[in-house]
Amino acid sequence: MSTKSAPAGISKSARFSGGLDIPRLLLEGRAFIALIVIVVAFSILSPNYFTVENLLTMSSHVAIFAILAVGMLMVILNGGIDLSVGSTVGLSGVIAGFLLQGVKIPAIGIAFYPAAWVSVIVAVAVGALVGWINGALVSRFGVAPFVATLGTLYVVRGAALLITGGLTYPNLRGEAALGNTGFDWFGFNRILGIPIGVLFMIVIAAVAAVVLSRSPFGRWLYASGGNERAAELSGIPVKKVKVRIYVISGICAAIAGVIVSSELTSANPTSGNSFELTAIAAVVIGGAALSGGRGNIRGVLLGAFVIGFLSDGLVIVGVSEYWQMVFKGAVIVVAVMLNRIERRSKRVKATTPPGGQSTDPSKGVKSATASSPA
């Protein structure tokens, strides 16, 4: 009985190419691994961290960032950026608070008190309007996304401050006699023990995942983000895609703003300050490329949980707010570096034939592993 040796030219790495590539698996699963490390570390440091109630509370905080990050992912997949989402969070809450306080018409001495659901719909519509303005500036007028959304960041925040006069709308629970109660339902109620904000996160993430993976719009978005010129030449409505993704981002920011105001039962015009940076961080930690065309909802959710669980853990163990900023900034930098390393390794793998052997045209000899099964 004889044994056949491996054909000449096939390296040991090629023969075992079907095995596990541990470094690659660790690199691709870095967000999940980071989340596990965070949970284990803070569970050791604090006995109150890994409890059902605390996990639900932290998840309700994560939901805000995750909803924002889903909208931000849409924009980043297209190669853009939306710096106005934090301001939109504040404005949407202010709009809802303004309506719940009553719309007074001094000329005829009448005040209208819209129902809570009407206030929420109007607030979300305002968020969509902000997104449409961003999309129009970027797609129709050719303004760079960074500049366009930076401008709307200030305009939207200023509008919120002007509406309230720099003050806060308190006690948004409403009054039964006026028929405007129920706004606090978003922040305090639970269904089957799960906070409403977390349920909103699950629904929005599920819808976004289906849109990105199963719809023509999702394919258009990835294509235009990967190579906008090629996508345009192939018939994809690139400008319409740009407008729609910014509208989606604005809607997500408005929903997050409504949930934040509901949890606080008050509307502060400065609410959502720096939330845009947290949303971008969640997207980056989740493995999306800031250059566009690469990223998914699963990674965004993991990134949001990493940021949220890290922030709450640092608060629970009593770490200074200043050190919290340092830690979160370090996490973002490390995430960007790992993204770059992963992309570089994939490019090297794509350009290197299996076993390191290339075709020799002069002898007509193909690589020994070119047709070997995976």
Which residues on adjacent β-strands are paired with residue 6? Answer: none
Using a 10 angstrom Cβ sphere, with 0-12 exposed, 13-18 middle and 19 or more buried, the burial of residue 351 is exposed
Cβ neighbours of residue 281 under 8 Å, at least 6 residues apart?
A: 303, 307, 328, 331, 332, 335
- Its pTM stands at 0.85
CA–CA distance, 127 with 95 (Å, rounded to integer): 10
pLDDT of 19: 54
CA–CA distance, 173 with 150 (Å, rounded to integer): 33
Task: Give the closest residue to 282 by CA, choosing from 34, 95, 21, 48.
Answer: 34
pLDDT of 2: 47
Q: Are 114 and 99 in contact (CB under 8 A)?
A: yes
CA–CA distance, 313 with 112 (Å, rounded to integer): 44
Mean pLDDT of 50-60: 92
Mean pLDDT of 113-131: 94
Residue 29's pLDDT band (boundaries 50, 70, 90)?
Answer: confident
Token readout for 64 is: 């805000």
Stronger pLDDT, 247 or 176, i.e. the higher one = 247
Stronger pLDDT, 119 or 341, i.e. the higher one = 119
Residue 99's pLDDT band (boundaries 50, 70, 90)?
Answer: very high
Q: Is the pLDDT of residue 265 over 50?
A: yes
Report which residue type is found at 57: T
Mean pLDDT of 261-290: 91
Per mean pLDDT, which range of 100-104, 193-197, 208-212 is the poorest? 100-104
Mean pLDDT of 300-325: 90
pLDDT of 354: 57
Q: Is the pLDDT of residue 82 over 90?
A: yes
CA–CA distance, 220 with 213 (Å, rounded to integer): 11
Q: Are 76 and 212 in contact (CB under 8 A)?
A: no
Per mean pLDDT, which range of 58-72, 80-94, 170-184 is the poorest? 170-184
Q: Is the pLDDT of residue 155 over 90?
A: yes
What's the chain's length in residues?
374
| Per-residue pLDDT tens over the stretch 342-365 | 777 766 666 666 555 544 444 444
Q: Is the pLDDT of residue 135 over 50?
A: yes
CA–CA distance, 288 with 20 (Å, rounded to integer): 24
Q: What angle (nearest 5°) sits at the alpha carbon of residue 282, between those of residues 281 and 286?
A: 115
Mean pLDDT of 204-220: 95
CA–CA distance, 371 with 374 (Å, rounded to integer): 9
Q: Is the pLDDT of residue 120 over 90?
A: yes
- The tokens 């607030």 sit on which residue? 123
Q: Is the pLDDT of residue 97 over 60?
A: yes
Q: Are 347 and 2 in contact (CB under 8 A)?
A: no
pLDDT of 201: 96
pLDDT of 44: 94
Q: Are 370 and 25 in contact (CB under 8 A)?
A: no
Q: Is the pLDDT of residue 316 over 80?
A: yes
pLDDT of 373: 40
Instruction: Report the mean per-residue pLDDT for the chain.
Output: 85
pLDDT of 342: 76
Q: Is the pLDDT of residue 223 over 50?
A: yes
pLDDT of 345: 73
Q: Are 77 and 221 in contact (CB under 8 A)?
A: yes
